[in-house]
Amino acid sequence: MPSPPKLDHIAVSIDSQSPSIAIIKFNRPKSANAINTHSVQQFLTALKWAEAESQIRIILTTGEGKFYTAGLDLLDPSVKQEGATISDEFIETIGAIHEHLIKTNKLVVSAINGPAPGWGTTSIALSDLVYAAPNAIFFTPFVQWGLCAEGCSSLTMTRLMGRQKASALILAGARFTAQEAESAGLITKILGQESFSDDVMKIVRGIAKLPPDSLKANKDLLMRTQRAGLLEANEVELRTLKDQVRKKESLDAIAGFAEETERKKKEKASKSKLSIMSATELQALLRFLTKDAKVPLATAISKARELQAAKLDTPEALAKIKADALQTTFPDGKIAKQIVSAAKRISKKRAAGDDTTTTPKKKRKESLFPDEPLQPAELEKSLELPSSDASEEELRKTVLFTNRAPLVLAFLVVLLKRTMPEQPLSSRLSLAQAYVSITSRSRAVDLGIENGKSAEDEGFGEGQPTVIVGGKAIKVIRRWGYEWKDQSSSDIKVKTEEDQAEVADFIEEQPALWALDLEALKKSGNEKQPAMVQIGNNSNLPVYTPQSARAYLYKSFDTAPVSDAPTSKKLTGAAKAAEKEQNLGKLLRVLDLLYEAWAAKLAPDELDGRTWNWYVKIRPAVADGAAGWGGKNELKLADILDLRPDT
């Protein structure tokens, strides 16, 4: 087996199952796989190595982390030269890459695992097959920076997409989602987000089994009439690019970009310095505002950052000012007076050694998280749900016995993996449980089982941020300081072809969320103030807890009884629990298969919109009206599998 070159910006490997496949991966995840002179030189080295190895017949390019490649790192010194925004060395190197991709007889496959702006968009048009994850984004900011088309895109894009869409991409800098790129002909197919790498390898390994001489001959036939035109386009584009990078408009655009980037960097650092508040400090401030100063919850949360910026984030600091000083932050003079009065009262008590604001430690049995690990990663680990490696044939034969609510919960938990992949499992369980609880209460009111207005209708949670889950607006609170993932995977520091702030938009993740339990807030009797409920280290507000949602899932899916089966020995409690866990794993597996099949065809919001209809089609049949409340019946997993689109 040939030995791949060892490089730092580019990772090169040979597929363990099919040694005829070379994998060339952009490997600067902390810089969003942005390219500089060193990167493209190594990419060319990897291509030349693969070309020289007779055993290699397929070249697969992809990216490590969240980006395929973020394109050219415009502010990297290695890509500059005196009097030009981009060096001749860089331009000539990418030109050599383009020429290599045009001339090679080996199959080139690109797996676009995430956003691919700039050169990431243009270069893949020289690949034979292009597969993309649903979150991939394609665009070219050439005109914005006074540059010009490269990667033969002046020719390939018009051929693939047509003149109008090619103009939108290159001239107007329009952004194309994966779905739009597939429709336009830029990519071959969209594959599932969760299984993207596995799906790509399955396809490429299948191609590797085809007769090699036939594969090579047919590629040559496809490229025979195109190579000359592509080589000419490459030459003209490189010549034009060398001219453009020396023009004042490009020099001014990049200089302005550098200044703006530096300004934003300083602004961000300044804001970060002001806004970094530990979860404990934020909790203490919110507790003071809502419990002691009687400030409405929504107002307290929305104004906490302003108080912090003004260094008025403790009772001691607030006690030293007059109420008038808070008029800018709190136009309602009554609230401002409440805050200052409460701050003075608390400060006096603390000075006297009588701090009554400290919330007594709750007994272990009262905690919503009796066994909560100290570290977020450990909490997420403790919430893991079962999986199943059962074959589709076995899954089709499986019939469960359950009621409707936990089935909705299972649907939503799996849906949120697709629509909110940035959220940890604890948040997805909380959000899904909120949907189920809100929906169930609404149904109970319709059936006459419950009465009265909901907490939200009475104004609880007013002003709180919301997210859409299953078409419903769910009130949430942000879990500030909850770092549940390895920071190295999301620490993106790069100044690329697109504005730094806009590149960050691709990977900007919502902070982890809790779904706010408004009914619990109402029952706390604190006049729409937060109930002092401990939920780990992040908040004192009542939320739908992930543990309760998880426990509900674990206990809800029995095996359907078989009417003509002989009476079997009753299972022990442990055996019954194990059976239910196995059933849950199978259910989650078929739901994963359902959403995976549709993810390649529907945008996340469309998946969200269709979920309820899918559930209605397969939910257990129960009696109408109140008589069917909580009723159980059979759930055939085959019915869920049959919801997948025809392939």
Task: Confirm if 312 and 321 have CB atoms less than 8 A apart.
Answer: yes
Segment 590-615 mean pLDDT: 90
Q: What's the pLDDT band for 532 if we cut at 50, 70, 90?
A: very low
**Among 74-83, 101-110, 213-222, 627-636, which is the least confidently predicted range?**
74-83
pLDDT at 643: 95
Segment 253-259 mean pLDDT: 86
Segment 362-375 mean pLDDT: 43
Return the domain boundaries, the chain: 10-195+206-260, 279-351, 364-641
Three state DSSP letters for 180-249: HHHHHCCCCEECCCCCHHHHHHHHHHHHHCCCHHHHHHHHHHHHHCCHHHHHHHHHHHHHHHHHHCCCHH
pLDDT at 105: 96
Tell me the C-alpha distance between 335 and 326, whole Å: 9
pLDDT at 567: 63
DSSP sequence for 460-476 = TTTT--EEEETTEEEEE
Q: What's the pLDDT band for 164 if we cut at 50, 70, 90?
A: very high
Segment 549-568 mean pLDDT: 84
DSSP sequence for 382-442 = HTPPP-----HHHHHH-EEEEEHHHHHHHHHHHHHHHH-TTS-HHHHHHHHHHHHHHHHHH
pLDDT at 488: 41
Q: What's the pLDDT band for 566 if we cut at 50, 70, 90?
A: low
Residue type present at position 158: T
**Residue 491: is its pLDDT beyond 70?**
no
Tell me the C-alpha distance between 502 and 496, whole Å: 10
pLDDT at 174: 94
**Among 82-96, 389-403, 475-489, which is the least confidently predicted range?**
475-489
**Residue 531: is its pLDDT beyond 70?**
no
pLDDT at 536: 40
Phi, psi of 467 (to 5 degrees): -130, 155
CATH value of 10-195+206-260 in 3.30.1360.20, 3.90.226.10, 3.50.50.60, 1.10.10.10: 3.90.226.10
Q: Select from 138, 155, 172 the least CA-distant residue to 240.
A: 155
Residue 551 exposure: Cα atoms within 13 Å on the Cβ side:
7
**Among 15-19, 266-270, 324-328, 528-532, which is the least confidently predicted range?**
528-532
**Residue 601: is its pLDDT beyond 90?**
no
The most confident of 294-298, 458-462, 622-626, by mean pLDDT: 622-626
pLDDT at 508: 44
Q: What's the pLDDT band for 565 if we cut at 50, 70, 90?
A: low
**Residue 533: is its pLDDT beyond 50?**
no
Phi, psi of 81 (to 5 degrees): -150, 165
pLDDT in tens, 461-472: 776 788 899 988
pLDDT at 619: 94
pLDDT in tens, 182-198: 999 999 999 988 789 99
Q: Which two tokens stand for residue 242?
A: 């060398």
Segment 52-78 mean pLDDT: 93
pLDDT in tens, 427-477: 999 999 999 999 998 888 888 888 888 877 777 777 678 889 998 889 988
pLDDT at 534: 34
First to last CA, the chain: 37
pLDDT in tens, 328-363: 888 888 898 999 999 999 888 877 765 544 444 444
pLDDT in tens, 117-160: 999 999 999 999 999 999 899 999 999 999 999 999 999 999 99
Task: Confirm if 336 and 295 have CB atoms less than 8 A apart.
Answer: no
Q: For residue 12, list its beta bridge partners.
A: 24
**Residue 529: is its pLDDT beyond 50?**
no
pLDDT in tens, 35-63: 999 999 999 999 999 999 999 999 999 99
**Residue 492: is its pLDDT beyond 90?**
no
The most confident of 200-214, 494-508, 557-571, by mean pLDDT: 200-214
**Among 80-84, 97-101, 135-139, which is the least confidently predicted range?**
80-84
pLDDT at 358: 45
**Among 499-503, 580-584, 622-626, which is the least confidently predicted range?**
499-503
**Among 87-91, 282-286, 467-471, 499-503, which is the least confidently predicted range?**
499-503
Q: Measured between alpha carbons, how far is residue 70 from residues 27, 130, 273, 393 in Å?
A: 12, 17, 28, 42
Q: What is the CA radius of gyration of the chain?
A: 29
DSSP state of 111: E
